[in-house]
Amino acid sequence: MPEQTELIHSFKGIPFSTTVSTELLQALDTFEAREDDVVLVSYPKSGTHWLTEIMKNLYHCNNDNNATGQVTLTSALEFGDLSKFDELRNLPSKRLIPTHLSHDMIPVQFKTKKCKMIYVIRNPKDTAVSMFHYYQQNPLLPKIEKWSTFLDMFLKGEVVYGSWIDHVQSWEKNQNDENTLFLYYESMKKDLPKYVKEISSFLNISVSEDQINEIVKKSSFSEMKEKAQKEKVDTKHTVCALTSDKKLIFRKGAVGDWKNHFTSKQNAQFEALFKDKINSSELARQVEYE
């Protein structure tokens, strides 16, 4: 498939979009982290933009001319070439840095400097469906016409960033680290105020009930989608390593949409391949599917 060859390359056995350069991936451990960096991590199509919007609103509501409220949301750490490191070096603190990298590939200084990291997990069935539509709409990714073809690729870890379960398990090593917060997309959908409080506590940000309610309102999927439709494309303000077009980011943001795509046979195929691995992972076992 020529499109696959042109738009995808492999690094350490993991597929990456060519928007992520090999040179940058090779140089990740030379990245200079700061102790006050906050790293926002997810497998693709797991709620990264939603989380960053929550984070921005959380910091901004606390922006009373104090240091806590000053924050710079960067584009994805791995989006681009080596010049990205110079770009990030010139940004003021505090930096919110999104990434889809596995724990094994995260720059070592994020770990040694004990940076705060937030990892958001979405159920893999909805993730697969969302990625399928993203592949179809994003000109920087190969266009996979058939859902069944894409699902096979997803289950084999042949999509960008590789296997969902491998990604989750790479971060599971960090689950007892007090500097890492794990969040579940589905749980956040059910009770966002609770998780805004949890995030603010993790980041030592003081917010009132009124501010929490305002953050929840501003971070609704409909409001974010409407805002994205009005904005001009700006590579400085996308948090995706796969596109600079915000209009491609938002589709449904729903929980349980997988039921509209998976046949009973495909669901059985998924369970056969993923069930044992998910059951062996404490993080993956807690995922909700509806």
Residue 122 lies in a domain: yes
CATH number, domain with residue 58: 3.40.50.300
pLDDT mean over 14-27: 96
Q: Do the domain assignments include residue 230?
A: no
In a domain, 47, yes or no: yes
pLDDT in tens, 148-176: 999 999 999 999 999 999 999 999 988 88
Question: Does residue 226 fall inside a structural domain?
Answer: no
With respect to residue 146, please indicate whether it lies within any of the assigned structural domains: yes
Band (pLDDT 50/70/90 cuts) for residue 5 is low
Answer yes or no: is 228 within a domain: no
169/173 Cα distance (integer angstroms): 7
Confidence of residue 139 (pLDDT cuts 50, 70, 90): confident
Which residue among the candidates 100, 103, 167, 261 is catalytic per the annotation? 100
- The domain total for the chain is 1
Neighbour-count burial for 246-260, b at 16+ CB within 10 Å, e otherwise:
bebbbeebebebbee
Active site residue 237: no
DSSP 8-state secondary structure symbol assigned to residue 244 = S
- Has residue 227 been placed in a domain? no
According to the model, what pLDDT value does residue 152 have? 96
| Domain residue limits at 249 | 8-221+235-286
Tokens describing residue 274? 């993923």
- Global pTM? 0.88
Cβ neighbours of residue 139 under 8 Å, at least 6 residues apart? none
Give a three-class secondary structure readout of 159-177.
Answer: CCCCCHHHHHHHHHCCCCC
d(CA 107, CA 30): 7
Phi first, then psi: give them for residue 218, nearest 5 degrees: -70, -25
Residue 15: is its pLDDT beyond 80?
yes
Crossing angle for the helix pair 264-279 and 164-172, to the nearest 10 degrees: 20
Token output for 74? 């960067």
Residue 257 lies in a domain: yes
CA angle 51, 8, 28 (to 5 degrees): 60
